[in-house]
Amino acid sequence: QVQLVESGGGLVQPGGSLRLSCAASGNIFSINVMGWYRQAPGKERELVATTTSGGSTNYADSVKGRFTCSRDNTKNTVYLQMSSLKPEDTALYYCLYRDSRNYWGQGTQVTVST
Q: Is the pLDDT of residue 31 over 90?
A: no
List pLDDT tens digits, range 62-92. 999 999 999 999 999 999 999 999 999 999 9
How many percent of the chain have pLDDT more than 70? Answer: 100
How many percent of the chain have pLDDT more than 90? Answer: 94
Q: Is the pLDDT of residue 59 over 90?
A: yes
Q: Is the pLDDT of residue 15 over 90?
A: yes
Strand order in the sheet with 18-26: 2-7, 18-26, 77-82, 67-72
Q: Is the pLDDT of residue 30 over 90?
A: no
| Average confidence score pLDDT of the chain | 96
Residue 113 near residue 13, CB atoms below 8 Å: yes
Q: For position 82, what pLDDT does the model report?
A: 98
pLDDT-derived band of residue 49, with 50, 70 and 90 as boundaries? Answer: very high
- Measuring CA to CA, which residue among 32, 8, 12, 33 is closest to residue 22? 8
